[in-house]
Chain A
């Protein structure tokens, strides 16, 4: 079990989830990145920035 850094609710991962995968908190919907599996920790997923570029 890990804790959502946004709403504090407990999160349990399905089997096979890897470090750095992006998941959603089922309680608050926040987009999270799995930082470590043991212990299970999360951060908010990296922000999306707009950028010029071809």
Chain B
């Protein structure tokens, strides 16, 4: 709990994580981890001496917007308390118990830039071999196990034309942009976000003047279900640009993990041993799990906290839930270590 409070007090919005990473590395070392910072700034701690590799990968950055850190009525308020320093600290406190393990080697990682471009996760994907089991630190609630996230692609639209009198028939750039957005919205998206359907969000739109021209920039957030055809979507967009330009980030596909493995059974067992009623969760958002699922190992996301508080000014975590999740993770890790005979 002290670790979590101190880490939340160390404000670390994306791209400004160094102070929190340095603090976290010292705490990892104090708990017996071999700790280091990689070239992009991720905090990495290794503990245990076994042949079974478990990665517990959270993120140390938060969305911008610092909040007062207040411990009140069994709740810790503050930016990142839920998303997702609670998960990262729970991973750390649980893994610390396995310092002497001859079965497990546990790597706890606090990634940077999860809330921006996931550069920290891409660095881990490049530098590390696939583990035997992977848990991503995102709030699922202490009884929840997240098995899926939708995919995502960010688009940037620009349209510029010469200025016309408003009495003329030519549409304004704003009208052209709105028409384009509504076209792809009607063709591809559902009004209400759901895991099995694509959805679109118009994140922002800004008009501007450029010498004699007027223009429009729009940022669009596309969320996608499993097996969404990004190329088909982009082909449709390009066929309807009418002189506009469209750029996009690398598409990140949706992930839906297999439930029939020892990772899922160990977490289910951990939750049930604490009298919990387990639930599987499929998230309509996206996370570093989408990227790290490329390892094709058993993977879920787990961690304390209510994800509806992510990014809000009311962000807080229940200390009781935080402690319960640590205990469940310890039980799950013990159960994972028991399955070593089936591996070697």
Mark A residues whose CB is within 8 Å of B: 16, 18-23, 31, 33-35, 45-54
Interface of B is mostly: mixed
The 8 Å CB contact of A52, one of B144, B265, B280, B284, is: B284
The 8 Å CB contact of A20, one of B269, B277, B284, is: B269
The 8 Å CB contact of B310, one of A19, A22, A23, A53, is: A53
Interface contact A46-B279, CB-CB below 8 Å: yes
- Residues of B near A18 (CB, < 8 A) are 262, 265, 335, 339
Q: Known contacts being A16-B342, A23-B260, is A54 close to B287, with CB within 8 Å?
A: yes
Whose C-beta in chain B lies nearest to the C-beta of A35? B272
Q: For the complex, give the distance between the alpha carbons of A33 and B147 in Å.
A: 16
Whose C-beta in chain B lies nearest to the C-beta of A18? B265
- Residues of A near B279 (CB, < 8 A) are 46-49
Is B83 an interface position by the 8 A CB rule? yes
- Residues of B near A48 (CB, < 8 A) are 147, 279-282
Is B195 an interface position by the 8 A CB rule? yes
Interface residues of B in 174-202 (CB under 8 A from A): 193-195
Interface contact A51-B278, CB-CB below 8 Å: no
Interface contact A45-B259, CB-CB below 8 Å: yes
- Please list 8 pairs of residues, one from A and one from B, whose beta carbons are closer than 8 Å in the complex, sorted by A's number: A18-B339, A20-B268, A22-B260, A48-B279, A49-B279, A51-B282, A53-B281, A54-B310
Greatest chain A CB density within 10 A among B139, B278, B280, B339 is at: B280
Closest chain-B Cβ to A50's Cβ sits at a distance in Å of 5
The 8 Å CB contact of B268, one of A33, A51, A53, A54, is: A33
- Residues of B near A34 (CB, < 8 A) are 265
Q: For the complex, give the distance between the alpha carbons of A18 and B115 in Å.
A: 37
Mark B residues whose CB is within 8 Å of A: 83, 115, 138-140, 144-147, 149, 193-195, 259-260, 262, 264-266, 268-269, 272, 277-287, 307-308, 310-311, 335, 339, 342
- Residues of A near B308 (CB, < 8 A) are 52-53
Closest chain-B Cβ to A49's Cβ sits at a distance in Å of 5
Q: For the complex, give the distance between the alpha carbons of A53 and B285 in Å.
A: 5
Q: For the complex, give the distance between the alpha carbons of A23 and B146 in Å.
A: 18
Greatest chain A CB density within 10 A among B145, B146, B278 is at: B278
Interface contact B307-A51, CB-CB below 8 Å: yes
- Residues of B near A52 (CB, < 8 A) are 193, 283-285, 307-308, 310
Greatest chain A CB density within 10 A among B262, B268, B279 is at: B268
Closest chain-A Cβ to B300's Cβ sits at a distance in Å of 12
Whose C-beta in chain B lies nearest to the C-beta of A34? B265
Closest chain-B Cβ to A45's Cβ sits at a distance in Å of 7
